[in-house]
């Protein structure tokens, strides 16, 4: 597989590029991971409900084709887009989701944050905070012709204020946190590389 470092890129253009890549790929096309960061944007998954957008303000709102509910992307958040041929990789959607969650938990542990965990029926990764579980990573996947796109977003040092404008992932009152707030000094670039390495390992992929 190949790894692409996109830098900070517009969300809609990246989404379109993922769709184009997936539609044009063939049996010999290498899988890819795209590492990105986006300007501020709210994205709504296929299951999103309008009432979960409380106050978008001046932040763009984009309806997408990924699974899940509403979330926020912004500077300081590492996004790993996973473009994988599921059959070739020997993965199912559920096993891919689990692998991505495990990769985030591995990344948190490696960068000094222990206690990363899942919540039943609520995809993503959480950390204990103020006596409850707060979300630090969200994920959503789309499958087309047996291949995936979209992926996982991990809060490194992203401004958390925009999360107040939504019910994160459709859960009213759900707290969100970032790695810096929780005590990690890892930089954005360090986290991106560590997360990518763990995604590759957890998904059983090989880098070309």
Could you tell me the sign of the dihedral formed by the alpha carbons of 12, 18, 21, 24, in that order? negative
Q: Cβ-count burial of 138 within 10 angstroms (0-12 exposed, 13-18 middle, 19+ buried)?
A: buried
Longest dimension (CA), the chain: 49
Minimal CA–CA distance to 8: which of 65, 78, 66? Answer: 78
Annotation says 196 is catalytic = no
Tokens encoding 147: 């291949």
How far, in Å, CA of 87 to CA of 145, rounded? 10
C-alpha–C-alpha distance, residues 114 and 92, integer Å: 28
Would you give the DSSP letter of residue 48?
-
Among the listed residues 147, 169, 196, 203, the single catalytic one is 169
Q: What is the DSSP letter of 31?
A: P
What CA–CA distances, in Å, run from 122 to 68, 154, 174? 9, 15, 11
Query: Which residues, 6 or more positions from 196, have their beta carbon under 8 angstroms from its beta carbon?
Result: 3, 33, 35, 80
Annotated catalytic residues are: 169
């Amino acid at each position: 597989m190949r790894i692409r470092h996109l830098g900070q890129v517009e969300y809609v253009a990246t989404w379109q590029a993922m769709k184009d890549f997936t539609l044009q790929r063939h049996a010999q096309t290498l899988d890819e991971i795209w590492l990105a960061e986006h300007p501020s944007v709210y994205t709504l998954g296929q299951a999103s409900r309008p009432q979960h957008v409380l106050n978008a303000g001046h932040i763009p709102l984009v309806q997408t084709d990924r699974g899940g509910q509403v979330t926020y992307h912004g500077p300081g958040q590492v996004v790993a887009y996973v473009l994988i041929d599921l059959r070739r990789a020997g993965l199912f959607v559920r096993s891919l989701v689990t692998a991505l969650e495990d990769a985030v938990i591995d990344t948190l542990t490696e960068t000094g944050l222990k206690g990363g965990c899942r919540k039943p029926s609520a995809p993503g990764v959480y950390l204990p905070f103020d006596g409850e579980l707060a979300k630090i990573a969200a994920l959503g996947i789309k499958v087309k012709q047996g291949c995936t796109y979209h992926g996982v977003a991990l809060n490194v040092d992203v401004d958390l204020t925009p999360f107040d404008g939504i019910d994160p992932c459709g859960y009213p009152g759900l707290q969100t946190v970032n790695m810096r707030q929780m005590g990690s000094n890892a930089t954005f670039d360090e986290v991106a590389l560590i997360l990518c390495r763990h995604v590759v390992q957890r998904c059983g992929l090989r880098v070309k």
